[in-house]
Structure 1
Amino acid sequence: MDAEAWDKAAKQVNFNLEIEWSKFQSLVCPQARLLDFGCGYGRIGKKLIHNGYLNVVGVDSAFCMVLRG
């Protein structure tokens, strides 16, 4: 999908991707700089911050997804 299609879907879509936090935390230290490219409305970034990863940047080409976040 392109950014225009994601803009149209932004209010409706809910992602369900889950991260194995124990595995992730064993591989990535909390001080790491993290880029969530294609972050959508920021669901994963929010979870990262909640789990102590404070250097997180999210980028998305769909303006309406970013607004939702």
Structure 2
Amino acid sequence: MKLTIIPALVLSLLVVSLPLSAKVSMPSIFGDNMVLQRNTKVAIYGTAGPDERVTVEVSWDRE
């Protein structure tokens, strides 16, 4: 009985989380491994829904 409950629980969690993905769109100029000058101001732009939260992280402070 437990063997059927666990897959059903995982499947239901996956189905519930599908609508939670954000529809954020960025221009093709921004991408993985792009290079920016350190400690400068850069304008980042794109589109998202009115209540979407967007976070930009830089990696130069990580060591």
TM-score by length of 2: 0.27
More strand by proportion, 1 or 2?
1
TM-score by length of 1: 0.26
Higher RCO (C-alpha under 8 Å, 6+ residues apart): 1
Max Rg structure: 2
